[in-house]
Amino acid sequence: MAETVEILGVTVDCVDFAATLAQIEEWVDARRADATAPTRQLCTVNPEYLVDARRNASFAAVLAQADLRVPDGAGVLWAARRAGHPLHERVTGSDGIYRISERAAQRGWRVFYLGAAPGVAESAASILRDRYPGLVIAGAYAGNPAAADWPDIAGWLAATQPDILFVAYGHPRQDAWIAAHRHELSASVAIGVGGAFDFVAGVQRRAPAWLQRLNLEWLYRLLREPRRWKRMVKLPVFVGLVLLAKREELD
Ligand code: UDP
């Protein structure tokens, strides 16, 4: 198992993309060998997740029961470094959808794309299949995280038996939804990927690479989607909490 770092009371796994892909592969192989192996849950942890976990015990429990909590978000890398665990790279859902789909095409894994607005999952899946020839699309469906839609989704998953299930219902709903249903998901690994389908399908534009390198992806997103300001306010709160935690440790 990977080394871990504790940030604001949440355990984050010190993994890069290579280690994350290796872990996913192990889980897919395990369930292919034994259909009773559990569905694994991967959460992409960014500062918003950490602030929410502090305020909301049920979201903290969702993170605690996940099998892998990868470091998404420049703020998480910063906090990990301060805690003496320098991490190599961000492991984001927006990059992960490409990296995992690529590995899926190489290994013959079946992938299901669940979530986003109607038509977006289908469009993202077909763009990824063009990019990674041989990618096996188990399904693509918008669905809805509301309870009323669960029987439909459960039916689709049972019929298609995906190895990888990407869920794009946004934070924090997607992770709570996976946690609530993980024992009946008929998938090897379930991953909440936020707005990743929108980026792949071109519905939303992702920050250019140079802004990502400057750790300013959040600013780009805020300018493009000003309605997100309430969520973005959690970033300075996160920085304050991390600085305060260090201070308390020193006192
Ligand atoms: N979304 C959805 N159903 C919902 C809420 C959100 O399909 O009930 C989708 C939304 O269309 C978008 C994705 O979830 O594609 C991510 O939303 P958001 O940008 O808020 O999430 P974040 O990336 O910040 O977690």
49 and 56 in contact (C-beta within 8 Å)?
Answer: no
- Nearest CA owner, ligand 1 atom 17: 170
**How much is the pLDDT for 165?**
98
Band (pLDDT 50/70/90 cuts) for residue 250 is: low
**Phi/psi of residue 194, nearest 5 degrees:** 55, -125
- Nearest CA owner, ligand 1 atom 19: 195
pLDDT at 249 over 80: no
User: Coil, strand or helix: which one is 40?
Assistant: strand
Greater pLDDT, 47 or 215: 47
75 and 47 in contact (C-beta within 8 Å)?
Answer: yes
pTM of the predicted protein model? 0.95
Band (pLDDT 50/70/90 cuts) for residue 8 is: very high
Residues 6+ away with beta carbon under 8 Å from 210:
none
- Report CA(101)–ligand 1 centroid distance (Å): 20
- Report CA(193)–ligand 1 centroid distance (Å): 9
Beta-bridge mates of residue 115? 168
Greater pLDDT, 187 or 88: 187
What gap in Å lies between CA 205 and CA 116, rounded to an integer?
15
pLDDT at 248 over 90: no
**How much is the pLDDT for 230?**
86
Taking only the tens place, the pLDDT of each residue in 49-70 is 999 999 999 999 999 999 999 9
Band (pLDDT 50/70/90 cuts) for residue 251 is: low
DSSP H helical ranges for 139-194 = 150-160, 173-181
**How much is the pLDDT for 231?**
87
- Report CA(146)–ligand 1 centroid distance (Å): 13
**Over the chain, what is the mean pLDDT?**
95
- Report CA(168)–ligand 1 centroid distance (Å): 6
Q: 10 Å Cβ neighbour count for 156?
A: 18
- Nearest CA owner, ligand 1 atom 20: 170
**How much is the pLDDT for 1?**
64
Taking only the tens place, the pLDDT of each residue in 130-158 is 999 999 999 999 999 999 999 999 999 99
Band (pLDDT 50/70/90 cuts) for residue 116 is: very high
What gap in Å lies between CA 162 and CA 31, rounded to an integer?
11
Taking only the tens place, the pLDDT of each residue in 156-193 is 999 999 999 999 999 999 999 999 999 999 999 999 99
| Largest interatomic CA distance in the chain | 57
User: Coil, strand or helix: which one is 29?
Assistant: helix
**Pocket test residue of 49, 198, 200, 234 for ligand 1, highest count of atoms within 8 A of CB:** 198
Virtual torsion, Cα 19, 20, 25, 30, nearest 10 deg: 100
202 and 227 in contact (C-beta within 8 Å)?
Answer: no
Query: Which protein residues touch ligand 1 with a CB less than 6 Å away?
Result: 115-117, 145, 168-171, 194-195, 197-198
DSSP-assigned letters across all residues of 169-214: S-TTHHHHHHHHHGGG---SEEEE-TTHHHHHHTSSPPPPHHHHHT
Task: Give percent of the chain above pLDDT 70.
Answer: 98
CA 171 to ligand 1: nearest atom? 25
176 residue type, one letter: A
Band (pLDDT 50/70/90 cuts) for residue 115 is: very high
| Cα angle: 26, vertex 93, 115; to 5 degrees | 100
Q: Which residues of 189-211 are buried (b: 16+ CB within 10 A; e: fewer)?
A: bbbbbbbbbbbbbeebebbeeee
Nearest to 52 by CA among 175, 205, 220: 175
191 and 40 in contact (C-beta within 8 Å)?
Answer: no
Greater pLDDT, 16 or 218: 16
Summarize the confidence of residues 185-212 as an average pLDDT. Answer: 95
